[in-house]
Amino acid sequence: MGRDLVKAIGMAVSVLALVLLGRLVLTHDVIVFEYLRTRVQFVLSAAPDIGQQASGFLWTYRVLDVFAGAFLVFVAAACCIAMLREERA
């Protein structure tokens, strides 16, 4: 019960931190984030269907890379689960 509570609190704090950082980048004038804000606005205004174009490119020209990357992510997740599972007596 204790571990589940810690995991839930950790997940909530992580999501909250990401949301706050994203809001900070998009709403405040911070010199360090100026390049990022410019790039985000450029991408959003340049191609409204950028997601469809990117996915079309990946599935047309980089299919082997996509499958290799998905396989590596799956193997890494399986290894993490295997290493972190609880030992039974």
Would you say 57 and 66 are in contact if contact means Cβ atoms under 8 Å apart?
no
d(CA 67, CA 59): 10
Amino acid 75: pLDDT? 93
Mean pLDDT of the chain: 77
Prediction pTM value: 0.41
User: Using CA atoms, how far apart are residues 63 and 59, in angstroms rounded to an integer?
Assistant: 5
Q: What is the pLDDT of residue 60?
A: 83
Query: 30 Cβ partners below 8 Å, 6+ apart?
Result: 24
CB 66 within 8 A of CB 59: yes
pLDDT score of 77: 92
What confidence tens digit (pLDDT) does each residue in 66-82 have? 889 999 999 999 999 88
Q: What is the pLDDT of residues 11-49, one digit of tens each?
A: 899 899 888 877 776 776 656 555 555 555 555 555 667
